Structure 1
Amino acid sequence: MKFIVDKSYWNLFSDSKLGVLLLKNIQNGESTDEIKSILKEANNEAKKYLTKEILSENPVIAVWREAYKKFKTKKGVRSSIEALLKRVNSGNPVSSINKFVDIYNSASLKYGLPCGAEDLDSFVGDLKLTITQGGDKFIPLGSDEEDNTLPNELCYIDDEGAICRCFNWRDGARTMIKDETKNSFLIMELLDNRLVELNLALDYISENAKKYLNADIEKYILDINNPEITLK
């Protein structure tokens, strides 16, 4: 099983970097007071990215607004980092979900980068990041109804359907991180030149996942010259 970043992606974002963590033997579950405190601190720290009065003009959001113009999306779709920072901006901090999700949401807020994770054992065949022909089966997180992909949409897909739609907008229910998740694929996408921050964010997640989840971790940085890795 591999993660393959298709040429259709690199045609749009040739200079981008994709940071991947493979986390094995996770001991997930209800968040602890210590992790909740880390998340609270990250919510406060994220305010440093909100220096412009208009939310979309803040650089860590603006880069994604521009990116989303390059492929087909549903109306009103925004990147996951914009969704998190919008909550911070409105005084509605990102709340606790479980240990693992709290850790990577903290990293996303702290470093101003989108981050998502999936249950690796739920994948069917290879995982691909690609411009899709549309019609990939997708049931959004928190829904029971299908909302399948559009033609020319940028998605993470496997042989069963879509895993995450519109780059990092919405995760699917099939591969969501659950309390009982044992193995995970985590990704942070970088479109600007903040490679130092990407590495710091991945290391931050790794350190906390080892400390609080007892996870075994592999780290990768993918680019146009290194577009695939073996998942298992």
Structure 2
Amino acid sequence: MKKFIVEDEFWNLFPNAKIGVVICHGIDNKIKDTDRYKKMISEAEKDALNHIKDSDFSNNTAIKVWRDVFKKFKTKKGARSSIEALLKRVSNGNHINSINPLVDIYNSVSLKYAFPCGGENIDTFVGDLKLTQAVGNENFITLGTDTNSPPYESEIIYKDEEGAVCRCWNWRESVRTMLTEDTTNAFLCIELIDKNRFEEFEEALQYLGETVRENLGGSINIGILDTAHSEIKII
């Protein structure tokens, strides 16, 4: 059995955070209809503009809350939340590329609701997956490089027994655990830091689960982790 565990080191910094999880088993992530996912992303890009109303990009709520969060732990210089990266591209008139169905789906949900979303291949996890503070010696190689770049000590990371899975909370993921067309069991997550948006967060989480089920089949289990419920079975 493997679990996803959010450790006390995380809750001590962010007691009001909530981590929404969609556990997917037996899905078919092979690309069959590229136009469907391109359209999904295109529509979500239009929705994303609703979250960028202030001409000063950094003053938009979805951006500001995460910039404030990133000031509470040591991060790599220039690291920004995944939702800022997506919204920045859209605000500049650039399109989000289609990658594979699962990634396209969670990117679309992230854009539509302006929450950080991510996903990993469960079958690549070594032991439990944890959201915690880094020791500082965890192995980490991100997409597009072959260089090991361990996180800083006390940096917020997702990790397993092999190393870091995602650095700076939701900034960069490890190539080791990334989703591919061959992925059949996936861990997806949505992260909430702004307690005023809990209803939108719940809606986004349900929408993510339903969209995966409708498009990729398999079985879906949805859960929300908080200080009272800090772990969930993933396999």
The separation in 1 between residues aligned to 2:101 and 2:221, in whole angstroms, is 19
The separation in 2 between residues aligned to 1:185 and 1:202, in whole angstroms, is 13
Quote the offset at 1:142 in angstroms: 2.0
The separation in 1 between residues aligned to 2:97 and 2:142, in whole angstroms, is 20
1:69-125 CA distance string (max 9 Å, x none): 011101000000000000001100212111111111100000010000000000001
Counterpart of 2:204 in structure 1: which amino acid?
Answer: A
The separation in 1 between residues aligned to 2:90 and 2:193, in whole angstroms, is 22
Within the candidate set 218, 221, 232, 2:221 is matched to: 218
Runs of 4+ residues over 3 Å off in structure 1: none
Secondary structure in 2 aligned to 1:96? Answer: coil
Within the candidate set 168, 172, 190, 2:174 is matched to: 172
Provide the TM-score with structure 2 as the length reference: 0.96
The separation in 1 between residues aligned to 2:155 and 2:215, in whole angstroms, is 36
Quote the offset at 1:53 in angstroms: 1.5
Aligned to 2:146: 144
Counterpart of 1:91 in structure 2: which amino acid?
Answer: G
Q: Does residue 1:198 correspond to 2:198, yes or no?
A: no
Aligned to 1:11: 12
The separation in 1 between residues aligned to 2:135 and 2:28, in whole angstroms, is 37
Quote the offset at 1:205 in angstroms: 1.5
Quote the offset at 1:203 in angstroms: 1.5
Counterpart of 1:90 in structure 2: which amino acid?
Answer: N
Provide the TM-score with structure 1 as the length reference: 0.98
Secondary structure in 1 aligned to 2:175? Answer: coil
Q: Does residue 1:108 correspond to 2:110, yes or no?
A: yes
Counterpart of 2:193 in structure 1: which amino acid?
Answer: L
The separation in 1 between residues aligned to 2:199 and 2:37, in whole angstroms, is 24
Q: After superposition, where does 1:18-33 map in structure 2 within 5 Å?
A: 18-30=19-31, 32-33=34-35
Quote the offset at 1:32 in angstroms: 2.4
1:173-206 CA distance string (max 9 Å, x none): 0000001001001111100121111111111112
Alignment coverage as a number of residue pairs: 232
Secondary structure in 2 aligned to 1:19? Answer: strand
The separation in 1 between residues aligned to 2:26 and 2:198, in whole angstroms, is 28
Within the candidate set 82, 97, 100, 2:99 is matched to: 97
Q: Does residue 1:227 correspond to 2:230, yes or no?
A: yes
Q: Unaligned regions of 5+ residues in structure 1, if any?
A: none
Identity of aligned residues (%): 49
Aligned to 2:65: 63
